Amino acid sequence: MAITETSRSSHELPVTTPGSTTSTAKKLTLVPLIFLIYFEVAGGPFGEEPAVQAAGPLLAILGFLIFPFIWSVPEALITAELSTAFPGNGGFVIWAHRAFGAFVGSMMGSLKFLSGVINVASFPVLCVTYLDKLFPVLESGWPRNVCIFASTVVLSFLNYTGLAIVGYAAVVLGLVSLSPFLVMSAMAIPKIKPHRWGSLGSKKKDWNLYFNTLFWNLNFWDNVSTLAGEVDNPQKTFPLALLIAVIFTCVAYLIPLFAVTGAVSVDQSRWETGFHAEAAEMIAGKWLKIWIEVGAVLSSIGLFEAQLSSSAYQLEGMAELGFLPKFFGLRSKWFNTPWVGILLSALMSLGLSYMDFTDIVASANFIYTLGMFLEFASFVWLRKKLPELKRPYRVPLNIPGLVVMCLVPSAFLVLIIVFATKIVYLVSGLMTVGAVGWYFLINYLREKKIFEFNEDTDLLDNGNGECKKVEDHHDSR
């Protein structure tokens, strides 16, 4: 991930944005940030199994080898550049707003928030899916529903206790949840038959499942941008954290995938979510299956916490920008966390968690896809609109190069749309229409002064109590 640094004069004021905090209040350092990014995106190999079920071992391996370069790296590069240029909790909302104005900023915020809470909803479901391998009573009915509800409530409260706690918990959860896969991969080596990696499978390809599995497991790199205001020295920390997280994530997917597809020969239909645990039992015994299932639960906790944090801090950033009433940015007196954002995000994800898991993933992908088109356009247009904007880290390409960099992953976004199911079109269509309606409703509430808003969204706080337009901050070159 090649990123270059732009020099800054010592007398110039840094560009900060609504939602950012002073250096003494920032909590996230490099290592916790790496693991938060890791859990924003992956959280481990859990959930990669359907790629094999959909298209066979070879295409699954190629997908996880190639897709990161086509999708993950460009998205991480965009996040690195724009998060350091606009280090505030609004993240991608700030980018779209500065590029195209209030309507596009609002649409970006609504679409990304909806995709985020849908994604959050998937993790208690994924957690219970692994648990029901150990406790069959959780496979369906009220025990499953109660378990999903209880886990959502408990984990939401943990998020409420603070981002620092969430960040360091992510480090522990990441290391512990990955350890059984390292053991399984090592024990699988004597049983690996390399010719199995070349299998295309024995059933008709399910491209909808295949692309959605790749996309869901390797996207959401930009979600961490909504935490930029909470990061210590984001101009240097963000790009390095993203670089390490991209490498770490890809390796965490590929090692177990190579190990299990090479060592285990089973009917392709068995490669559903949770199969890694069954494979562990085939390779080493019941003890390793239980260890992986425990790891899956811990991973789901990390995924939930990271994604819920992003959604909650995004709402706070949108309130600071004036896209939402000010009360959305209220912080807890005890833990200094955005409790309104956490509560709203948790309630919405809880309601969505009772959808079918495949529909949850596909709906999150579809809504996220629409937001990514806006993000790519904002990234390119900001380079043209604000060429002198101070960018501590800059993707080393000119505008035509940036267009090409964004067009390649955009082709995969089109595939996600083309292969969507009717229920996904329906859910996503209603949410998109709702996002448009929400923009006009907020404007109405502002005009009628029903709620209090931060009024001037065109002005950004420079960190010293003064307001200056972003365009007034230029590179010293």
Q: Domains in the chain, ordered, with CATH?
A: 30-459 (1.20.1740.10)
Q: Is a pLDDT exceeding 90 seen at residue 282?
A: yes
Contacts of 406 (CB under 8 A, 6+ apart): 74, 78, 376, 379, 380
What's the rounded Cα separation, in Å, for the pair 181 and 288? 9
Predicted confidence band at 203 (pLDDT cuts at 50, 70, 90)? confident
Reported as a single tens digit per residue, the pLDDT across 65-114 is: 999 988 888 999 999 999 989 887 788 999 999 999 999 999 999 999 98
* pLDDT attached to residue 201: 82
**Taking phi first (over 0 means left), then psi (-120 to 50 degrees means alpha), and beta for anything else, what does residue 44 get?**
left
What does pLDDT average to over the chain? 82
Tell me the per-residue pLDDT of 380-390, one tens digit each, with 9 for 90 and over: 999 999 999 99
Q: What is the per-residue pLDDT for 110?
A: 92
Query: Residue 45: what residue type?
Result: P
